Amino acid sequence: MYNELIEALNELISETSTNKKQDILKKHKETPGFRDVIEFLTNDFKTTGISTKKIQKELELTEDNDDLLTLLDFVVENNTGKDSVVARVKTFVDKHDPIFEDVFSKNLKLGVSAKTVNKAFGEYLVPVFNVQLAFPYDKEIGMDKKQIDRYEDTDKFYVTQKLDGYRAVTVVTDKIKTYTRKGQEIEGLEELHEKVNEFVTKNKLSNLVLDGELLLVNHDNLTSDELFRQTSKALRKKGSKKDIEYNIFDLLTYNEFMFDGQSKQTYENRRKALDTLTGVDLVKIVEVLDIITKDQIKDWSETATNNGWEGVMLNYQNGKYETKRTPNLLKVKKMHTADLELIGFKEAIDGKFKGGLQSIVVQFGDNTVDVGSGLSEELREEIWKNQDFYLGKIVEIQYFEVSENQNGGKSLRFPVFKSFRFDKTKEDINID
Tell me the torsion sign for CA atoms 122, 128, 132, 136: negative
Give pLDDT, residue 146.
54
Residue 298 pairs in a beta bridge with none
> Is the model's pLDDT at 1 over the cut of 90?
no
Are 84 and 193 found together in one domain?
Answer: no
Are 395 and 409 found together in one domain?
Answer: yes
Closest CA to 137 of 334, 331, 339, 292: 331
Q: Render the burial of 4-19: b for 16+ CB within 10 Å, e for the rest.
A: ebbebbeebbebeeee
More confident residue, 152 or 28: 28
Residue 158 pairs in a beta bridge with 291, 315
The pLDDT tens digits of the residues spanning 195-250 come to 999 999 999 999 999 999 999 999 998 888 788 889 988 998 889 999 999 999 99
Are 287 and 347 found together in one domain?
Answer: no
Give pLDDT, residue 139.
55
Q: Is residue 132 part of a domain?
A: no
pTM greater than the 0.75 cutoff: no
Query: What's the per-residue H, E or C state across 307-375?
Result: CCCCCEEEEECCCEEECCEEEEEEEECCCEEEEEEEEEEEECCCCCCCCCEEEEEEEECCEEEEECCCC
Backbone angles phi, psi at 231, to 5 degrees: -65, -50
Q: Coil, helix or strand for 32?
A: coil
> Is the model's pLDDT at 367 over the cut of 70?
yes
Are 288 and 422 found together in one domain?
Answer: no
Are 158 and 114 found together in one domain?
Answer: no
Q: Is residue 185 part of a domain?
A: yes
Give pLDDT, residue 143.
37
Q: Is residue 222 part of a domain?
A: yes
The pLDDT tens digits of the residues spanning 374-427 come to 999 999 999 999 999 999 999 999 887 788 777 778 889 889 999 999 888 888
The pLDDT tens digits of the residues spanning 156-171 come to 999 999 998 999 999 9
Q: Is residue 22 part of a domain?
A: yes
The pLDDT mean for the chain works out to: 90
CA distance 129 to 118: 12
CA distance 189 to 178: 8
Q: 2-6, 271-275, 333-337: lowest mean pLDDT where?
A: 333-337
Are 262 and 116 found together in one domain?
Answer: no
CA distance 42 to 23: 17
Give pLDDT, residue 413.
84
285 CB-near residues (< 8 Å, 6+ apart): 247, 248, 249, 274, 275, 277, 279
CA distance 8 to 12: 6
More confident residue, 373 or 431: 373
- The tally of domains found in the chain comes to 3
User: pLDDT class for 141, splitting at 50, 70, 90?
Assistant: very low
Nearest 5°: CA angle at 347, between 343 and 348?
140
Are 201 and 222 found together in one domain?
Answer: yes
Q: Is residue 355 part of a domain?
A: yes
Q: 21-25, 147-151, 174-178, 189-193: lowest mean pLDDT where?
A: 147-151
Range of the domain at 217: 153-332
